């Protein structure tokens, strides 16, 4: 079941009705849990067993981790949880990838090894709910918070349908306390939630699927022979598509939860207005960036072990972040390129800090440190906009590896973007398509820059009610007119 379907609209309407009935809070939570399983079962019912296994094991292991006084037994319990969660993730998501690379390595050293191809189906959202449960057991091992008292609350925390399949990645303190006391959306929360749901669907259905996906798919599926204009148009289209698709899902998820009275963490904050790459990762997929910072970068040593270790930790974190997105070396290259950008940015910041005797950024900065390139992150000046535009264009280069399934395909597009490869035939994209993509991307960048220090709800609260109503109505009409042409969310494959 997906947000951009009439089935979900019916499902959500029923959930709103049940959640507002005069029944006990435990019954309402049970309804939410059963609905979450139904929501997930719409993809592949047997995979609910994986959710149950992960939930039950981590609930009891987490409690034991918190109460067990013996240090060695606690480590064994942590290893059991890590093996259980990461083992399932590795098998289902990386099984084919690991086997293919093992076969290639075996053949390279002279062994003629050709095993049968396993038929492994990737469960929807396994990367998201695995990270959700992992943070709980790790927090219990470190005794950062008390264990969840109720299996019902913990199960609902793991499987709550708005965030289950594609995030945001939530932590227990962010959501579990909201399940402990009765919650029902206020009239303001309901209206804000419906507005965010509408906005998220507009971003996905209209902007990502209708306006941008066609150009991106045409360029990235081509076998070559196109020029720089086609290549740049396709890459820019995908840069907008991936944002509108994923941010659209997160916005919809936050809106759906808010309609039920629950608050999910923000996952996007106008990332294409970022000034530099540490700022980009403060704004793009915020919950994943924070997870990698707290559960990988800082445990590796963060920036506490000297410059060499800091640079190494940054690269390891970004490589893992790339591999988390997909079982392919192109995703690793995408993460590695972001790591390289962060290296360069940090080197510039270190150089500035040493000449001005300023201290380095704190440990809590996402992935790496300080205000990027010495430009004010709050000022809307022309220099800041130019640096933001440069950051966006460099990010677009990384999207080539993210979207391409092979390195040869990525190199083909990068070569065309550089202008070194002349077009071998007629243009791939029609002039009207190129103009459409240019207008949409320009409007997106302008909107990000204008909103970079604000939020949708804060802005709409300042708008006249009639203007909000007009904008809302236009989005609803365009969504309805676009139904039947929308696609599944990109991040469902991760």
**In total, how many domains does the chain have?**
2
| Residue 6 pLDDT class (50, 70, 90 cuts) | confident
| Same domain (yes/no): 128, 202 | no
Q: pLDDT by residue (tens digit) across 193-246? A: 999 999 999 999 999 999 999 999 999 998 877 888 999 999 999 999 999 999
Q: What is the pLDDT of residues 393-426, one digit of tens each?
A: 999 999 999 999 899 999 999 998 887 777 667 7
Q: In terms of domains, do 271 and 300 share one?
A: yes
Encoded tokens for 230: 């086609």
Confidence of residue 370 (pLDDT cuts 50, 70, 90): very low
Domain boundary among 136, 155, 181: 181
CB 261 within 8 A of CB 449: no
- HEC secondary structure over 400-467: HHHHCCCHHHHHHHHHHHHCCCCCCCCCCCCHHHHHHHHHHHHHHHHHHHHHCCCCHHHHHHHCCHHH
In the chain, the percentage of residues whose pLDDT exceeds 90 is 58
Is 441 in contact with 450 (CB distance < 8 Å)?
no
Helix ranges, 125-186 (H): 126-142, 151-159, 161-164, 172-180
User: 363 or 407: which carries more pLDDT confidence?
Assistant: 407
Is residue 127 within 8 A of residue 324, CB to CB? The reply is yes
* Cα–Cα distance measured from residue 401 to residue 243, given in angstroms and rounded to the nearest whole number: 16
Q: Is residue 66 part of a domain?
A: yes
What pTM did the predictor assign? 0.89
Distance between CA atoms of 5 and 348, rounded to whole angstroms?
Answer: 47
Supply 61's token pair: 């292991």
CA distance 206 to 481: 9
| 95 & 216 share domain | no
Q: What is the pLDDT of residues 345-355, one digit of tens each?
A: 998 888 877 77
The mean per-residue pLDDT over the stretch 17-32 comes to: 94
Residues 167, 212, single domain; the answer is no
Give the per-residue pLDDT at 356.
64
Whether residues 243 and 153 share a domain: the answer is: no
Same-domain check for residues 374 and 411:
yes
Residues 277 and 145 in one domain: no
Residue 4 lies in a domain: no
Same domain, residue pair 163 and 198: no
How far is Cα 300 from Cα 305, in angstroms, rounded to an integer?
9
> Could you read off the pLDDT of 469-482 as tens digits, one per residue?
999 999 999 998 88
Residues noted as catalytic:
325
Is the same domain home to 270 and 163? no
Residues 162 and 258 both lie in one domain: no
Domain ranges, residue 76: 21-100+117-181
Tokens standing for residue 53: 């296994």
173, 196: one domain? no
110 is a domain residue? no
Question: Could you tell me if residue 247 is inside a domain?
Answer: yes
């Amino acid at each position: 079941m997906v947000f951009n379907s009439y089935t979900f609209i019916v499902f959500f309407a029923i959930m709103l009705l049940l959640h507002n009935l005069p029944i006990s809070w435990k019954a309402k939570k049970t309804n939410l849990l059963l609905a979450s399983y139904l929501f997930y079962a719409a993809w592949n019912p047997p995979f609910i067993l994986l959710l149950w296994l992960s939930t039950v094991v981590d609930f009891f292991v987490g409690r034991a981790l918190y109460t067990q006084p013996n240090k060695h037994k606690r480590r064994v319990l942590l290893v059991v949880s890590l093996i259980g969660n990461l083992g399932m993730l590795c098998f289902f998501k990386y099984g084919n990838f690991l086997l293919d690379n093992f076969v290639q390595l075996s053949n390279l050293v002279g062994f003629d090894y050709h095993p049968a191809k396993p038929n492994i189906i990737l469960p929807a959202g396994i990367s998201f709910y695995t990270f959700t449960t992992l943070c709980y057991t790790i927090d219990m091992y470190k005794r950062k918070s008390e264990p969840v008292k109720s299996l019902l609350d913990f199960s609902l925390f793991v499987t709550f349908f708005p965030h289950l399949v594609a995030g945001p990645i939530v932590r227990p303190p962010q959501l579990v306390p909201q399940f402990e006391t009765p919650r029902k959306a206020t009239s303001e929360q309901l209206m804000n939630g419906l507005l965010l749901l509408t906005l998220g669907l507009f971003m996905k259905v209209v902007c990502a699927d209708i306006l941008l996906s066609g150009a991106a798919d045409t360029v990235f599926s081509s076998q070559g022979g196109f020029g720089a204009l086609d290549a740049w148009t396709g890459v820019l289209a995908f840069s907008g598509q991936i944002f509108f698709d994923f941010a659209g899902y997160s916005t919809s998820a936050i809106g759906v939860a808010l309609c039920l009275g629950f608050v999910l963490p923000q996952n996007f904050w106008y990332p294409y207005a970022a000034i530099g790459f540490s700022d980009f990762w403060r704004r793009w997929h915020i919950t994943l960036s924070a997870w990698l910072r707290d559960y990988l970068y800082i445990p590796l040593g963060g920036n506490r072990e000297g410059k060499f270790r800091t640079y190494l930790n940054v690269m390891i974190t970004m490589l893992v972040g790339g591999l988390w997105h997909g079982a392919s070396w192109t995703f690793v290259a995408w993460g590695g390129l972001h790591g390289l950008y962060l290296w360069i940015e940090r080197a510039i910041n270190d150089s500035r800090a040493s000449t001005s005797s300023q201290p380095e950024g704190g440990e809590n900065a996402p992935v790496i440190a300080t205000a990027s390139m010495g430009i004010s992150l709050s000022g809307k000046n022309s220099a800041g906009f130019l640096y933001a535009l440069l950051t966006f264009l460099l990010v677009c280069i990384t999207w080539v590896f993210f979207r391409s399934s092979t390195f040869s395909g990525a190199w083909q597009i990068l070569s065309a973007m550089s202008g070194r490869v002349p077009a071998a035939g007629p243009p791939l994209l029609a002039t009207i398509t190129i103009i459409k993509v240019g207008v949409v991307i320009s409007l997106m960048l302008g909107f990000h820059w204008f909103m970079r220090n604000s939020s949708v709800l804060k802005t709409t609260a300042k708008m006249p009610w009639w203007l909000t109503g007009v904008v809302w109505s236009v989005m609803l009409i365009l969504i309805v007119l676009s139904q039947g042409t929308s696609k599944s969310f990109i991040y469902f494959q991760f």
